[in-house]
Amino acid sequence: MAKPPLLHPRPEGLYCPAGDFFIDPTRPVPRALITHGHSDHARPGHGAVMATRQTLDIMAIRYGEDFAQSRQPAESPTRIGDVTVSFHPAGHVLGSAQIAVESPTQRIVVSGDYARVPTPTCLPFEPVPCDIFVTEATFALPVFRHPPPEVEIARLLASVAAFPERSHLIGAYALGKAQRVIAELRRAGWDAPIHIHGALQRLCDYHVAQGIDLGHLRPATEGKKSDFAGAIVIAPPSAFAATWAQRFPDPVIAFASGWMQVRARARQRGVELPLILSDHVDWPHLTATIAELDPAEVWITHGREDALMRWCELTQRAARPLHLVGYEDEAE
Amino acid sequence: MSLAAFATLLERLAFTPQRLGKERLLTAAFTDLPDPERGFMLAALTGDLKLRQVTPSLLRGLTEMRADAQLFSYSYDFVGDLAETISLIWPEGTRSDPPLSEVVDELATTPKTRLPALITARLDSLGPSERYAYLKLATGALRVGVSARLARSAFAAWASLPLTEVEEIWHALQPPYLDLFAWAAGTAPRPEAAARAPFRPVMLSTPTDLDQLSTLDPAAYAAEWKWDGIRIQAVSDGGTRRLYSRTGEDISAAFPDIVELMAFDGTLDGELLIRREAEVAPFGDLQQRLNRKTVTPAMLRSHPAGLRLYDVLIWNGEDLRDQPYDTRRAVLVKAVAPLGPRIDLSPELTFQTWEDLATLRLNPPATVIEGVMIKRRDSPYLAGRVKGPWFKWKRDPHLIDAVLMYAQRGHGKRSGYYSDFTFGVWNGDELVPVGKAYFGFTDAELKDLDRFVRNNTVERFGSVRSVARSKVVEVAFEGLNRSTRHKSGVAMRFPRINRIRDDKPAAEADHLSTLQALLDKD
């Protein structure tokens, strides 16, 4: 490319010299643009933070109101220095956005994390034409072909029906995945109360306040052991190792994650019912998105960059790995 | 049973954590399924379906016709299981659900040249979990968390038969086990071992130490050297002679020199060794004769095998397994005498106290001795690893402190973790790799090592990561061989990571000269 790109990687993260800001920096910086609220992308301690209103709210819930010195909700295209930035839905979690950075001669889209399967919990991914597409590669291996969510929810409900005397404990990360599981269960017609771990309460409340119907939620600490027979309980995966899990009768341990497609991963976690439920693009969606956008260059942030580089080589696309450190390689 | 039902069973077995739950799934299958499907299912789980012509390299080749070789290799590296990788990466086609017996039958009878086309056609017409089940079946390595013993014990429980009786005849049975299921149903007698010279389950020992021994009466035990060869069972029955490994694999073809000497009628337990005159060669020499279908005359001359006997199970038609050790030993002493110098007796050690034995253990007369065996004098010959009558008291391993140099992702249950480590020691001011280890650590230590690799990668070569030279590990190993293949000139036997030495800076790790000194001593 003849003209220098608007962004380049620095140890803190992707940097835009023309606007003097970073996107999803992993260390505190004077000005940060944040794609979404997961803790490896949204960190506290920056000077000024620009993000969608929902992402700013989520950061305030997670880190407290003083997570940054100043904040600016991204609403319409905004000029910063010599570039214009705009935020576009990424379909990953509530508030998630791709960030488009453009000058009169170049547009780069930083997708953050993204998904193409529509979910009840956030706006769908919006394809934005661009010269350089900066993509994640979390599930960038051709073995990852995630089944439709309704298939996985049906497996969960079949297991609940098969073991009416046991409770089902579903491990799901607190932002996005937990609400996604709840919303998918509601969509499948499960209308009994769903019991949630205390760590999920505030983020679930926030989803409800944003107009996402999660039905009847109840703290998992209420009730005696026998009340949980046949019940569905959702908690962050870390809770399962704690004594917290002992209150439930002979629980079936489930885990909702795209990694559950690999058996060994499920077994390592002691999972009895792996649910393949991802908020990232799988291989067909990832490669189809790149083909659809057809950018002049693909930049790869984190994940299985080797494999995506190879695919780009096979399809004769210019691509480079950024080797950004600090993003969770395998948490989902 | 259809292939889809078999796939579901495998999935449920793999994800059911408790043994009891797995047994329940199996007994339900024995009840619900007709013959021959249930027999094939059982054989698949016990590893007795002989479909071994389907090699991993054949499957790799087929997959590379359907997917890019490099993407396939990255995927395999990540998933850690060949069958699972192929089942996930194979392009979607039509869906069919053939009966298990049909699939087993065609894999067993199709000539080798037509196998690739057959397998490709099958994979093209199955869904991902059926592809997985199919490939597991075809390669014979199910690894679904059910051991052959668990499958047999579930069968015995379901059939209300004593497990030992089932185990006893197992090696003479053929899938799909129609005679076995008829016996279970009470419509036929117990199938007698049809084959001559059957394998009998071997008696195994448990590890011990001085603390544990000090609570026992030394007079009640016999002791002998633990020879570092391979444990075998030599059976000669009405003219049929077979040499079995301790898992019941027939290895006669690789050791015609031993088979020739087996002029007796009975079942003997002993150690296979390479012997040059009176001297026993190191294990490395024996390894060169293992895993060979046939053996050349030159190899027979340069690596002559011998048998050192521990025990007798059956002698001249009499089953001695219920007799005490001392009685069997007396029979063995008489039995060995006429068999000649290449088949001899493992001598008993003389000791009064456990301290006497400890002294002997520290000063063995040969380097191929890897400790002592301790056997209760009144114990019968029991199948399996029973705790109590037999102990092994191995010599202590060698230890060195080495520096972690490279790491690779593990496979199987370790997939996703950096669990294969190459480590090195100092040679001047340079680190030279001296070995690889992928076990020995605890789960917590594995997490620590994995985190270290992820945070300290300095270079990547495909799937291998080169790490900062700052992590010291204590490596335990059993012995050292000279090696021309390794830059360091040494090759370790059975190396494993004993513990992590975060208290030690890399500069204080051991030097190559320490290993060379050990080599010279041996």
Where residue B500 sits, what CATH number does that domain have? 2.40.50.140
Residue A126: inside a domain:
yes
Cβ contact A214:A181 at 8 Å: no
CB contact under 8 A, A263 and B14: yes
DSSP B353-367: SHHHHHHHHHS-SST
- Residues B382 and B432 grouped into a single domain: no
Token digits of residue B13: 């077995």
The span from the CA of A330 to the CA of B12, in Å, is 25
Of A145, A264, A272, the CB nearest to B415: A264
List the single residue in A with minimal CA-CA distance to B69: A310
Single residue among B100, B121, B139 that ends a domain in this structure: B139
The one-character DSSP state at B227 is: E
CB contact under 8 A, B17 and A304: no
- Residues B246 and B389 grouped into a single domain: yes
Residue A329: inside a domain:
no
Cβ contact A326:A26 at 8 Å: yes
Q: For the segment A275-309, what is each residue's pLDDT rounded down to a tens digit? A: 999 999 999 999 999 999 999 999 999 889 999 99
Mean pLDDT of A68-97: 97
Contacts of A310 in chain B (CB under 8 A): 68, 70-71, 74
Residue A1: band (very low, low, confident or very high) from pLDDT cuts 50, 70, 90: very low
Mean pLDDT of B78-106: 92
The answer for residues whose C-beta is within 8 angstroms of residue A129's C-beta and 6 or more apart is A107, A293
Contacts of B462 in chain A (CB under 8 A): 306
Contacts of A255 in chain B (CB under 8 A): none
Of A268, A304, A314, the CB nearest to B78: A304
Nearest to A23 by CA among A87, A75, A119, A70: A87
Single residue among B377, B394, B411 that ends a domain in this structure: B394
- Residues A48 and A110 grouped into a single domain: yes
- To the nearest whole Å, the CA of B302 is away from the closest chain A CA by 45
Residue A89: inside a domain:
yes
Mean predicted lDDT score pLDDT of chain B: 89
- Residues A12 and A136 grouped into a single domain: yes
What predicted TM-score, i.e. pTM, was given to this entire model? 0.76
Q: Provide the domain count of chain A.
A: 2
The span from the CA of A57 to the CA of B120, in Å, is 53
Q: How many residues does chain B have?
A: 522
The one-character DSSP state at B408 is: E
Residue A65 to residues A59, A74, B182, Cα–Cα distance (Å): 8, 18, 74
- Residues A134 and A170 grouped into a single domain: no
The predicted pLDDT at position B422 comes to: 94
Domain span at residue B419 reads 398-521
Nearest to A117 by CA among A145, A154, A156: A145
- Residues A59 and A29 grouped into a single domain: yes
The predicted pLDDT at position B193 comes to: 59
Q: For the segment A84-117, what is each residue's pLDDT rounded down to a tens digit? A: 999 999 999 999 999 999 999 999 999 999 999 9
- Residues B375 and B446 grouped into a single domain: no
Q: Does any CB of chain B come closer than 8 Å to the CB of residue A328?
A: no
Of B88, B414, B454, the CB nearest to A143: B88
- Residues A233 and A193 grouped into a single domain: yes
Contacts of A267 in chain B (CB under 8 A): 14-15, 145, 413
Cβ contact B203:B246 at 8 Å: no
Nearest to A310 by CA among A283, A270, A271, A278: A283
Residue A39: inside a domain:
yes
List the single residue in A with minimal CA-CA distance to B89: A143
Q: Does any CB of chain B come closer than 8 Å to the CB of residue A268?
A: yes
Interface test with B, best of A40, A139, A143, A313 (most B CBs within 10 A): A143
CB contact under 8 A, A143 and B79: yes
CB contact under 8 A, A307 and B416: no
Terminal Cα-to-Cα distance of chain B (whole angstroms): 57
- Residues B105 and B240 grouped into a single domain: no
CB contact under 8 A, A266 and B413: no
Q: In DSSP terms, which residues pair with A318 in a beta bridge? A: A297
Residue A173: inside a domain:
yes
- Residues B108 and B17 grouped into a single domain: yes
- Residues A99 and A182 grouped into a single domain: no
Contacts of A142 in chain B (CB under 8 A): 67, 71-72, 75, 88-89
Residue A327: inside a domain:
no
- Residues B373 and B312 grouped into a single domain: yes
Q: Provide the domain count of chain B.
A: 3
Interface of A with B in 184-223 (CB under 8 A): none
The answer for residues whose C-beta is within 8 angstroms of residue A71's C-beta and 6 or more apart is A48, A49, A50, A51, A56
CB contact under 8 A, A272 and B80: no
Of B74, B128, B416, the CB nearest to A265: B416
Mean pLDDT of A50-66: 97
- Residues A230 and A266 grouped into a single domain: yes
CB contact under 8 A, B78 and A143: yes
Identify the sign of the CA torsion B142, B144, B150, B155.
Answer: negative
The predicted pLDDT at position A244 comes to: 81
Contacts of A146 in chain B (CB under 8 A): none
Q: For the segment B221-279, what is each residue's pLDDT rounded down to a tens digit? A: 999 999 989 999 999 988 889 999 887 778 888 899 999 999 999 999 999 999 988 78
Contacts of B454 in chain A (CB under 8 A): 329
- Residues A109 and A257 grouped into a single domain: no
Cβ contact B41:B152 at 8 Å: no
The answer for residues whose C-beta is within 8 angstroms of residue B402's C-beta and 6 or more apart is B423, B424, B425, B434, B435, B472, B473, B474, B475, B509, B510
Q: For the segment A35-53, what is each residue's pLDDT rounded down to a tens digit? A: 999 999 999 999 999 999 9
The answer for residues whose C-beta is within 8 angstroms of residue A22's C-beta and 6 or more apart is A10, A12, A13, A14, A15, A16, A29, A31, A32, A33
- Residues A39 and A102 grouped into a single domain: yes
- To the nearest whole Å, the CA of A299 is away from the closest chain B CA by 18
- Residues B330 and B423 grouped into a single domain: no
Q: Mutual orientation of helices B56-66 and B128-139 as an angle, nearest 10°?
A: 150
The predicted pLDDT at position A329 comes to: 61
Mean pLDDT of A232-261: 87
Q: For the segment A112-162, what is each residue's pLDDT rounded down to a tens digit? A: 999 999 999 999 999 999 999 999 999 999 999 999 999 999 999 999 998
Peptide bond into B36 cis (omega under 30): yes
Residue A330: inside a domain:
no
- Residues B208 and B281 grouped into a single domain: yes
Query: Which residue reads 């027939």 in tokens?
Result: B250
CB contact under 8 A, B15 and A143: no
- Residues A256 and A303 grouped into a single domain: no
- To the nearest whole Å, the CA of A241 is away from the closest chain B CA by 14
List the single residue in A with minimal CA-CA distance to B18: A272
- Residues B505 and B483 grouped into a single domain: yes
Residue B186: inside a domain:
no
Interface of A with B in 246-265 (CB under 8 A): 261-265
Contacts of B68 in chain A (CB under 8 A): 310, 314
The predicted pLDDT at position B82 comes to: 92
Chain A and chain B share a number of CB contacts under 8 A equal to: 70
Helix (H, G, I), strand (E, B) or coil at B152: helix
Cβ contact A190:A231 at 8 Å: no
- Residues B356 and B475 grouped into a single domain: no
In B, what residues contact A, Cβ < 8 A? 14-17, 67-68, 70-72, 74-75, 78-81, 84-85, 88-89, 128, 145, 412-417, 454, 462
Mean pLDDT of B294-313: 91
- Residues A207 and A242 grouped into a single domain: yes
The span from the CA of A109 to the CA of A136, in Å, is 12
B143: left (phi over 0), alpha (psi -120 to 50) or beta: left
- To the nearest whole Å, the CA of A116 is away from the closest chain B CA by 20
- A242: domain CATH number? 3.40.50
List the single residue in B with minimal CA-CA distance to A311: B71
Cβ contact A204:A237 at 8 Å: no
Residue A237: band (very low, low, confident or very high) from pLDDT cuts 50, 70, 90: confident
Residue B7: inside a domain:
yes
Residue B187: inside a domain:
no
CB contact under 8 A, B71 and A272: no
Of B74, B128, B415, the CB nearest to A304: B74
Identify the sign of the CA torsion A281, A287, A288, A292.
Answer: positive
CB contact under 8 A, A143 and B14: no
Enter the ipTM: 0.93
Strands B390-394 and B369-376: antiparallel
Token digits of residue A272: 């009895």
Single residue among B139, B160, B182 that ends a domain in this structure: B139
Interface test with A, best of B16, B22, B68, B74 (most A CBs within 10 A): B74
CB contact under 8 A, B78 and A273: no
The one-character DSSP state at A241 is: G
- Residues B285 and B355 grouped into a single domain: yes
Mean pLDDT of A313-322: 95
Contacts of B413 in chain A (CB under 8 A): 264, 267-268
- B225: domain CATH number? 3.30.470.30
CB contact under 8 A, B71 and A310: yes
The predicted pLDDT at position B405 comes to: 96
Cβ contact B181:B158 at 8 Å: no
The answer for residues whose C-beta is within 8 angstroms of residue B350's C-beta and 6 or more apart is none
- Residues A106 and A70 grouped into a single domain: yes
Query: Which residue reads 């997961």 in tokens?
Result: A38
- Residues B356 and B450 grouped into a single domain: no
Nearest to A295 by CA among A115, A108, A97, A77: A108
- To the nearest whole Å, the CA of A270 is away from the closest chain B CA by 8
Contacts of A330 in chain B (CB under 8 A): 416
- A303: domain CATH number? 3.60.15.10
Percent of chain A with pLDDT over 70: 97
The predicted pLDDT at position B195 comes to: 57
Q: Does any CB of chain B come closer than 8 Å to the CB of residue A272?
A: yes
Percent of chain B with pLDDT over 70: 97
Cβ contact A282:A145 at 8 Å: yes
CB contact under 8 A, A143 and B17: no
CB contact under 8 A, B74 and A264: no
Residue B290: inside a domain:
yes
Mean pLDDT of B487-513: 90
Of B14, B17, B89, the CB nearest to A143: B89
Contacts of B415 in chain A (CB under 8 A): 262, 264-265
Interface test with A, best of B63, B79, B129 (most A CBs within 10 A): B79
Residue B38: inside a domain:
yes
Cβ contact B33:B155 at 8 Å: no
Residue A220: band (very low, low, confident or very high) from pLDDT cuts 50, 70, 90: very high
Domain span at residue A55 reads 8-143+280-321
Query: Is B183's pLDDT higher than 80?
Result: yes
